[in-house]
Copies of this chain bind each other. A is one copy, B any other.
Amino acid sequence: MKILKVPESTIVRLSMYSRYLTKKYRIGIKQISSDDIAEGVGVKSPVVRKDLAYFGEFGIRGVGYNTLSLNNNILKILNLDLEWNIALVGLGSLGRALASYEGFIKRKLIIKNIFDNDPKKVGTKINGIEVLSTECMENEIWKNRISIGIISTPAFAAQETANSFVKAKVKAILNFAPIALNVPSYIEIRNVDLSVNLEVMSFNMSYK
């Protein structure tokens, strides 16, 4: 599969197409058009076709796409045909929500380890997963072949957590703490700021 300069927005949309296809297939839709997909995820149909065109030809002209096989193709492109092992650090209420978020499991994103430094939390179980002390991080992450780390600690503890993740050789970090983190460039890092969306809405509501 030749990959050349795919826009990130394309990848984001592929992820959405896949979820929509999964849903449609489950309710019995075996054949689907780019128009239907577009409407389902809120974009225009040429966008759908262009996005797919980066990776190959998956449809039949005049007919459309096979729901199941298109979805499987997208899942393979996104590398979601195999499971990813994830470790989560910081068991506040957000951490708790993420630890039991069904949307992850459905997409083969499996949280294998949960860490917190509060002795009261260590030893308890969330979703059948024992909460471990942050001191065990490096060993456990290595042992369980974790490739993605999620940070849901308070901001002040986020950089330290990131450092531990780097030492433990995770490949990617998803950071929910509202702070910019310093990590080596070979680590894939993404930040989710829960309030930024509300702030953009605040702006838009006022000037539009």
Contact = CB atoms under 8 A, between A and B. Distances in A.
A20 to B, nearest CB: 8
A98 interface: yes
A93 B100 contact: yes
Contact of A197 (B41, B174, B180): B174
Interface residue tally on A, bucketed by range: 35 or more
Contact of A109 (B12, B195, B208): B195
Interface string A171-187: 11010001010000000
B42 A199 contact: no
Interface string A155-199: 000000000000000011010001010000000101011111111
Contacts of A29: none
A3 B41 CA distance: 30
Contact of A194 (B41, B80, B103): B103
Contacts of A202: 78-80, 84, 109
Given A11-B200, A15-B196, A206 B79 contact: yes
B198 A84 contact: yes
Nearest to A42: B180
Contacts of A206: 79
B148 A201 contact: yes
9 contacts: A8-B200, A41-B180, A78-B199, A79-B205, A93-B96, A107-B195, A148-B198, A148-B201, A188-B208
Closest 5 pairs (CB-CB, A-B): A97-B97, A93-B97, A15-B199, A79-B206, A94-B97
